[in-house]
Structure 1
Amino acid sequence: MPEIGKLLPALLVAGTMGSGSAFAQAQAPTPLAPTPTTAVPASSPAPSPDQANDPELARGAYIATAADCVACHTASGGKPFAGGLKIATPMGDVVSTNITPDPEHGIGKYSEKDFEQAVRHGIRRDGSNLFPVMPYVSYAGMTDQDVQALYAWFMHKVEPVPVSPPEDATTLPAAMRSAMMAWNYVTTMEKPETGDSGTYDPVRRGRYLTSALEHCGTCHTPRNFMLSEKQDRFLSGASLTGWYAPNVTSSKTSGIGSWSEDDIVTYLRTGRLDGHAQAAGPMAEAVEHSLSHLTDSDLHAIATYLLQVPVMEDDLDVKPRDSFGKPQEVADIRHDVPKRIDDLTEMDGAGIYDANCAACHGHDGAGTRNHYAPSLFNNTTVGSARPDNLIMTILKGVDRTTKDGHALMPGFGATSDVERLTDTEIASLVNYLTATFGSGDHHVTAQQVADFRNAK
């Protein structure tokens, strides 16, 4: 099946967590607490009056948040779940569908069985196959009760929007949805969980959230030649549209095994763990629109589960990513004689850092006292054996909002039609940062930066 190998690379994972600006204005449904008779943890936020007496709707709202449905099905400036988000792939754009209950443009005519077939099996009401951009491979693990609640919430609480998104703009063989039938046959899907997911013990609940609803393996698990997730390398790290979803197994060298349960909960809730890590790119989006809205008990369940995921080591790692570097005694390199700092053609990495980064991160790399601008040493991004996320963060910046506050770092890639830093300058900056504060000079080239800049 050689055409499948050409078809899937970007269709599998591109856009599964949205694309930042593409849905920044969309609001994730607030997780609502049910009455005590339901299985959703009682620590959920208080329900609105119209849902307080309908625990199934409250449960459905929470499941929609945990599954991060809003991410892919809301376009920039569009109404929630009305679709239209363009997900770029090397074979054209896949456009997310309208999943509001509008009968003509959305899923209003879907029966509960139709809905279940789409969510857990990737088959639309008309019988055609969905692309795995829709993570039905993971949602296949959802319980019947949670699928039923999700269906009820979409049908009764989501506003119908009479809008049809544009058609996919894919080229052959990507336009052949029938190829997904063969792929579905050979790929490994989550097995449906049974019983009431709200009554699971912490490890089982954490596994359910991690593997089914939050579909963490979609990004963090590497894939085989058929682009199915390698089950024997679960959560050991994988590339994703330029970003690298790191190893999050219990390894103390390559993963997060040295973090405490509270550390993991803090990171998932806020997108940052001071002195260790900051979420950017797709992970920042997952935190903002989904993970930060989960209950404390569910976040602890995820952390409990992750800390017992079998250790997977990475041959590139020699020690934990957040254990590199220290404050540097770096003199202010600015000259006594005035010099234009926007003329960067003669500047090396140190000069580029001084002109663009030191004002926030400090000449010594320690960041700000309140950790708004993080330290560059003991930093998982700078200390990684792979420069991928450091390059992407410099190119794209950080824009993440949670109850903890708004984290913002401007991107130094293209700003409108103006290129703020060239590929050569970013390569020099990355090599300076990793050599000075992190895991060593990675000898990143301008061509590598260009490849990341254009990653799909």
Structure 2
Amino acid sequence: MKLPLLSLLSFACMMSYTNVSVAQSTEASLIEQGEYLSKAGDCIACHTKDGGDKYAGGKAVASPFGAIYSTNITPSVEYGIGSYSYKEFEQALRHGIRADGEFLYPAMPYPDYQKLTDEDTKALYAYFMKGIQPVEKANTKTALGFPFNQRWGIRFWNWAATDDGVFVEDTKKSKEYNRGAYLIQGLGHCGSCHTPRGMLYQEKAYDHSGDDFLSGADVGIWYAPDLRAGKNGSLESWSEQDFVDYFATGRNKHSGVTGEMTDVIQYSLSHLSKDDLRAMAVYLKGQAGNKPSKLASSKASEQTTNVLNLAKVDIDSGARLYIDNCGACHFTDGAGASHVFPQLVGNSLVNADNPQGLIHVILAGSRLPSTADAPEAIEMPGFGWRLDDEEVAKLATFIRDSWGNKAKSVNADEVKKIRSTIAVDILNKSAP
């Protein structure tokens, strides 16, 4: 039996409409996946300057060689990446090579992004091409001094300092462990801050096959702590749930986020699914270390508590300064309040070899991020307006040598140096 011509045309139209609908649905799903991955990669934190348009670049990324300005990665054809083919996008993302053949500075963490799968790279391409609006804003030019302004030299750095390796699953581990490994080693690029750098300023290891991976490093004035939480790891005392709480809210019963990590929580980790946060926790709990956490002995904690309880207000001591400025929130036992005020006992910021991060927090204060799971943005006031350099040094020294903490003392010159880098309005923010 022959179908009428009208029926054939109707069938053809219906099939064409179905194919278009399926294609649109697939594209929408890919864009949605890419948006999620962009958050996992914390793209917005680097490619959006304070008060600027989303992904339009212009943010200065500090490096030992000078400021490197992030670029416009919106689909603007003139100023952004709107003219990039998928292959050109992939080369920039995973190998640090722009569409014009120039090399990107490795402030862009392409050595870590090399571990991204083709599927995820394609999803990111879909999102940045069709999921965001173009911003017609010219890039701020990075102008490093010689020889670092010679981008061609990065070719040799790439050859010597990156492993050009794709992510390889550990078949002996669980699917959850491998998912966490993929996120931390690749998109999360955690090693770019938490792994120490070598002579060429490269990450000493790009995965846990290297002993230095995630073993802690200085990032400017801040210390990015050792993240290993397996046997003899610095964070061995943290449970999987402690990590999930910290990633989702910037706080847990042990610590609270400070410094550069605040933006990572605010714009990246707090937006990930609980399954992915749990996977990251499982991976970190599986990493053994060689720096066991320094748990304070009950005797050391008791001694400090007694000193504080007996501190005399007429003696300008570290103990008196602590009682006046810190005791109300962190208490005489230094334990703080779970998920509210960080404990000072064994705190990585307090015990860092470089005290500059702690000094900055005392002077300028700190603010926990507001996230979906913890919308309250609890803020520690700064004390730079009321304490002079000598007093801050005395207070920091007391905290770094109490309750079992054993970090070196701080002097007034160190405080003066950090104070000079903080704007006057920030120092006076907490003043009555």
Structure 2 CA distance, aligned partners of 1:113 and 1:244? 37
Decide whether aligned partners of structure 1 residues 89 and 441 sit closer, same or farther in structure 2, where only a CA change above 3 A counts. closer
* 1:434 matches 2:410: no
Alignment match, 1:294: 272
Decide whether aligned partners of structure 1 residues 363 and 163 sit closer, same or farther in structure 2, where only a CA change above 3 A counts. same
Decide whether aligned partners of structure 1 residues 72 and 361 sit closer, same or farther in structure 2, where only a CA change above 3 A counts. same
TM-score by length of 2: 0.80
State which of 221, 231, 234 in structure 2 corresponds to 1:255.
234
Deviations along 1:287-325, whole A, 9 cap, x unmatched?
Answer: 11111111111111111111112x2314xx673489973
Could you say what secondary structure the match of 2:124 adopts?
A: helix
Cα offset, 1:444, TM superposition: 1.8
Cα offset, 1:450, TM superposition: 4.6
Specify which structure has the higher proportion of strand. Answer: 1
* 1:67 matches 2:32: no
TM-score by length of 1: 0.76
Cα offset, 1:206, TM superposition: 0.8
Aligned-pair identity in percent equals 41
Deviations along 1:34-92, whole A, 9 cap, x unmatched?
Answer: xxxxxxxxxxxxxxxx9897211111011100000001000111111011112234543
* 1:409 matches 2:385: no
| 2:249 counterpart letter in structure 1 | T
Alignment match, 1:11: none
Matches within 5 A, 1:79-98: 79-98=53-72
Structure 2 CA distance, aligned partners of 1:455 and 1:178? 34
Q: Tell me if the contact between 1:253 and 1:319 (Cα under 8 Å) persists in the aligned partners.
A: no
> Where does the alignment leave 5 or more consecutive residues of structure 1 unmatched?
1-49, 337-345, 414-418
Structure 2 CA distance, aligned partners of 1:183 and 1:161? 32
Structure 1 CA distance, aligned partners of 2:232 and 2:296? 8
Matches within 5 A, 1:237-276: 237-274=216-253, 276=254
Alignment match, 2:200: 226
Matches within 5 A, 1:111-122: 111-122=85-96
CA RMSD after TM alignment? 3.0
Q: Tell me if the contact between 1:255 and 1:320 (Cα under 8 Å) persists in the aligned partners.
A: no
Cα offset, 1:454, TM superposition: 7.0
Q: Tell me if the contact between 1:322 and 1:380 (Cα under 8 Å) persists in the aligned partners.
A: no
Q: Tell me if the contact between 1:322 and 1:379 (Cα under 8 Å) persists in the aligned partners.
A: no
| Number of equivalences | 384
Could you say what secondary structure the match of 2:68 adopts?
A: strand
Cα offset, 1:371, TM superposition: 4.8
Q: Tell me if the contact between 2:295 and 2:346 (Cα under 8 Å) persists in the aligned partners.
A: no
* 1:398 matches 2:376: no
Cα offset, 1:438, TM superposition: 4.5
* 1:108 matches 2:82: yes
* 1:164 matches 2:138: yes
Could you say what secondary structure the match of 1:239 adopts?
A: strand
Alignment match, 2:411: 445
Cα offset, 1:445, TM superposition: 2.0
Deviations along 1:414-443, whole A, 9 cap, x unmatched?
Answer: xxxxx6544433221111112233413622
Decide whether aligned partners of structure 1 residues 82 and 421 sit closer, same or farther in structure 2, where only a CA change above 3 A counts. farther
Q: Tell me if the contact between 2:235 and 2:293 (Cα under 8 Å) persists in the aligned partners.
A: no
Structure 2 CA distance, aligned partners of 1:77 and 1:427? 34
Structure 1 CA distance, aligned partners of 2:293 and 2:282? 25
Decide whether aligned partners of structure 1 residues 132 and 51 sit closer, same or farther in structure 2, where only a CA change above 3 A counts. farther
Structure 2 CA distance, aligned partners of 1:209 and 1:226? 25
Q: Tell me if the contact between 1:268 and 1:292 (Cα under 8 Å) persists in the aligned partners.
A: yes
| 1:206 counterpart letter in structure 2 | G
* 1:376 matches 2:344: yes
Decide whether aligned partners of structure 1 residues 194 and 307 sit closer, same or farther in structure 2, where only a CA change above 3 A counts. closer
Matches within 5 A, 1:89-238: 89-189=63-163, 191-193=165-167, 201-231=175-205, 232=210, 233-238=212-217
Q: Tell me if the contact between 2:400 and 2:409 (Cα under 8 Å) persists in the aligned partners.
A: no
Q: Tell me if the contact between 1:139 and 1:190 (Cα under 8 Å) persists in the aligned partners.
A: no
Cα offset, 1:412, TM superposition: 4.0
Specify which structure has the higher proportion of helix. Answer: 2
Structure 2 CA distance, aligned partners of 1:385 and 1:290? 28
Could you say what secondary structure the match of 1:437 adopts?
A: coil
Cα offset, 1:396, TM superposition: 4.5
Q: Tell me if the contact between 1:277 and 1:381 (Cα under 8 Å) persists in the aligned partners.
A: no
Structure 2 CA distance, aligned partners of 1:373 and 1:331? 20
Cα offset, 1:213, TM superposition: 0.4
| 2:329 counterpart letter in structure 1 | C
Cα offset, 1:264, TM superposition: 1.5
Decide whether aligned partners of structure 1 residues 160 and 287 sit closer, same or farther in structure 2, where only a CA change above 3 A counts. same
Structure 1 CA distance, aligned partners of 2:415 and 2:276? 38
State which of 34, 39, 50 in structure 2 corresponds to 1:76.
50
> Where does the alignment leave 5 or more consecutive residues of structure 2 unmatched?
1-23, 423-432
| Higher RCO, 1 vs 2 (CA within 8 Å, ≥6 residues apart) | 1
Decide whether aligned partners of structure 1 residues 356 and 299 sit closer, same or farther in structure 2, where only a CA change above 3 A counts. same
| 2:406 counterpart letter in structure 1 | G
